[in-house]
Amino acid sequence: MATTAPSRTRPVATTLPNSLTAGKLHRATAPLIFLASWLVMAVIFLVLLVSGAAEDFNYVGTAVFGTLLFGVALFVISLAVEGERKAKDRVITILVTVAFVLALIPLISLVFTAVTNGSGRFDPLFFNSSLRNVVGEGGGGLHAIMGTLIITAIAAVISIPVGLMSAIYLVEYGRGRLARAITFFVDVMTGIPSIVAGLFAYALLVLFLGPGVRMGFGGALALSVLMIPVVVRSAEEMLKLVPNELREASYALGVPKWLTVVKIVLPTSLAGIVTGVMLAIARVIGETAPLLIVAGFTQGMNYNPFKDQMMTLPVFVFRQYADQGADAAAYVDRAWTGALVLILIVMALNIIARLIARIFAPKLGR
């Protein structure tokens, strides 16, 4: 008697919808939703303006509520098409992008305002003349530019060796109470107000040279107080990034510790150290309060930082804006041009720091 085998049916796999198998929005969907959201809010505020409910068109409200509407609309559409995980990811991306744009707005506004107001006196006369015997229009800021470069250079000469040696001690040698004390005071100096540094430098000059003395070297001392902790912190972090295997290999070959630091550790971390130093210079070059107290101000050229007062760009901008003469527009124009030059110097220092970091970066491979 023949028996028939029971038929075996293969189970059919069912695919559950989730964020991995769901659909995907077209790349143009988000920009289109963004434009549509802003357009809707613009129409709403335009209707309010036409109806008399608002006196002026609210550009800020259009941007804020348009962005909020964009986030809600994109979340709903992405939730229906792509799933919950992707929808949440898109919302977080929007929040991060908005935060980035908000951080850029003050910077762009600052640069735009400085360029717009300072380009009027951005001419050769401003870079090759001072304000000696100048009343009203004319004159320039050469004395302030040279004073800034001289004082900042002296501050760098003081701060870089002290800061670098302190960082080397903290990373390579310091293990006891002295290292902890240095770290504590470096942290305190990092947050010290700039005017306190100026008062310290002035008190130091009064102690050795008597009251009422003002000179460029005093301004350099004040800036070095602000610059040293930045150099220490940046150099310390760069030295910590050097692999211990490099140090141990050097010690295994019988190389002493000081020579290992000079030949192995410093060259390996040179790019980061130089970048930190340049950023520290950019940090202090725009300080006004300590230089106003210690370095003073003058209308003429002074190349000697150890004698008489010396003008700097931050103080130049302050004096031109605060002590306007009969022709107020000329003073304000010079102030904005000085601010523009200071911004360009800081920008140049940051560009130089990036170039140096790229040049001295450790080469990988053979």
pLDDT tens digits, 225-245: 999 999 999 999 999 988 889
Rounded to an integer, what distance in angstroms lies between the CA atom of residue 107 and that of residue 40?
29
- DSSP letter assigned to residue 4: P
Count of alpha carbons within 13 angstroms of residue 114, beta-carbon side: 15
Stretch among 304-308, 313-317, 327-331 having the lowest mean pLDDT: 327-331
pLDDT by residue (tens digit) across 259-281? 999 888 988 888 889 888 988 99
Stretch among 57-66, 81-90, 178-187, 317-326 having the lowest mean pLDDT: 317-326
The answer on 193 and 145 residing in a single domain is yes
Rounded to an integer, what distance in angstroms lies between the CA atom of residue 41 and that of residue 75?
18
pLDDT confidence of residue 16? 46
Rounded to an integer, what distance in angstroms lies between the CA atom of residue 160 and that of residue 183?
17
Q: Which of 341, 332, 338, 339 is nearest to 136 (CA)?
A: 332
The answer on 134 and 195 residing in a single domain is yes
Residue 326 CB-density burial (10 A; 0-12 exposed, 13-18 middle, 19+ buried): exposed
Q: Among the three residues 88, 120, 152, which one is the final residue of a domain in this structure?
A: 120
pLDDT by residue (tens digit) across 107-128? 899 889 999 998 888 888 889 8
Residue 38 CB-density burial (10 A; 0-12 exposed, 13-18 middle, 19+ buried): middle
pLDDT confidence of residue 19? 47
pLDDT confidence of residue 297? 86
Say if 1 falls within a structural domain.
Answer: no
Say if 19 falls within a structural domain.
Answer: no
The answer on 228 and 172 residing in a single domain is yes
Residue the block writes with tokens 């250079």? 153
Residue the block writes with tokens 């002026």? 56
Say if 142 falls within a structural domain.
Answer: yes
Rounded to an integer, what distance in angstroms lies between the CA atom of residue 40 and that of residue 60?
14
Residue the block writes with tokens 């360029």? 115
Contact status, residue 214 vs residue 250, Cβ threshold 8 Å: no
Per-residue pLDDT band at 35 (split at 50, 70, 90): very high
The answer on 355 and 208 residing in a single domain is yes
Q: Is 122 left (phi over 0), alpha (psi -120 to 50) or beta?
A: beta
CA-based end-to-end distance of the chain: 81
Q: Among the three residues 120, 148, 164, which one is the final residue of a domain in this structure?
A: 120
Amino acid residing at 145? I
Stretch among 60-74, 308-322, 345-359 having the lowest mean pLDDT: 345-359
The answer on 143 and 113 residing in a single domain is no
| Beta-carbon contacts of residue 68 (< 8 Å; ≥ 6 apart) | none
